[in-house]
Structure 1
């Protein structure tokens, strides 16, 4: 486990972008696992800047997103497909056919989840997975539970997650109550993982993740067992360490 503590969100974003850029430069056909939410936006902005400066080429990269709200189509402003297009994909040269995001409108969720797993496996697995972390310790949409869900699956979202994500919607009632998410085993099979956390609201989740007991009640705590995980934290998120 590698822990990097930086001053603030801006520095966290820069550090994460440099690590991601190194991965792409060293392995141009990297398989990248990507995250959504407010945390990685700064990192994506830095990657876009590097691309526009001619320092990065995404043409051979393949991407897999962690999750997607269930019941939102691609065109919905709050879908994670739309988020990724707006915050990264439309600004860089990732090929459309190399972008993979769970289908939030799939009629058969079990079939969609198995198909997603097979796509990841067929690609050779994820080289570098980016994670954020919820205040309740969730990674992807793997919520606190009595056991670890291994593979991509349909998740019932925790009330705290719904409340936290309501800031992106007009009201809490508009937030979907379920989502499709990579499972813990899928995430842990990634060759490298970087987890980003910023702000005081994440400090409790971070201390439980890094120094607490490994438990599905704090899903991110399983990362203690990963062979190559790097935490990039700003000072406020790292306050309890």
Structure 2
């Protein structure tokens, strides 16, 4: 693994976008195309803003979506489909985009998305880390055992409070109780993983990630077992790390 610490979220986003662009360009050179997974949320704003400016043949890029609330219409401000369309897929001319749909027949939607996802390997996954150390919506204690690609999960209060704190919902009761999430297993199948984790509110999650051995009570510890994981922090999110944790990464 590698850790890159930038002064600001903007510099973090730029550095991670350059790294992501390099991975995508390498996949296109090697295979003629690249398949990526994108995460969403307030922590990904600066990365996506920089990533869409990368010089890439976007027509050779296929994007998959990480998670979505169950029963939330796409028109809602918190919809991650809406988020990605406005900030990414409507800006760059992708070859294909596959979204998680939490409306209608959820199990049928999961089956169709899984079939597309597993046609070929994923070259790059952008995986954030939540305030409760979740990856995607795999809140602690996360399911490390399932080999499914996507599952329906119950959201814990810490996760829901984060969504309120970021301004996506007015109150805790407004946050959907469930979401469709890519599983921990499926995330780990990506050839490379980049995690962009800025802001002071993520500092404790980063501390827990780096100081704990593998445990589903801190789901993000699983990322440390990946052969090609890059963690991008800003000074605030890295503020609780000791120097040894960074030097030994």
The TM-score with structure 2 as length reference comes to 0.88
1:164 pairs with 2:155: no
Task: For 1:70 and 1:89, locate their aligned partners in 2 and report how far apart those are by CA, in whole Å.
Answer: 22
Task: For 2:220 and 2:113, locate their aligned partners in 1 and report how far apart those are by CA, in whole Å.
Answer: 22
Cα offset, 1:110, TM superposition: 3.3
Could you tell me which of 153, 169, 183 is aligned with 1:155?
153
Aligned to 2:117: 120
Task: For 2:188 and 2:118, locate their aligned partners in 1 and report how far apart those are by CA, in whole Å.
Answer: 13
SS of match in other structure, 1:91:
coil
Give the aligned length.
233
Q: CA RMSD in A?
A: 1.6
Aligned to 1:136: 132
Aligned to 1:11: 11
Cα offset, 1:146, TM superposition: 6.2
SS of match in other structure, 1:116:
helix
Cα offset, 1:147, TM superposition: 4.0
Cα offset, 1:183, TM superposition: 0.3
Asked whether the 8 Å contact 2:34–2:123 carries over to 1, the reply is yes
The TM-score with structure 1 as length reference comes to 0.91
Task: For 1:22 and 1:213, locate their aligned partners in 2 and report how far apart those are by CA, in whole Å.
Answer: 30
Cα offset, 1:75, TM superposition: 3.1
- 1:20-169 pair list within 5 angstroms: 20-28=20-28, 29-50=33-54, 55-95=55-95, 98-107=96-105, 109-122=106-119, 124-145=120-141, 147-148=143-144, 150=146, 151=148, 152-166=150-164, 167-169=167-169
Asked whether the 8 Å contact 2:43–2:199 carries over to 1, the reply is no
Task: For 2:228 and 2:111, locate their aligned partners in 1 and report how far apart those are by CA, in whole Å.
Answer: 26
Task: For 2:74 and 2:210, locate their aligned partners in 1 and report how far apart those are by CA, in whole Å.
Answer: 35
> Where do 4+ consecutive residues of structure 1 move more than 6 Å?
none
Asked whether the 8 Å contact 2:68–2:102 carries over to 1, the reply is yes
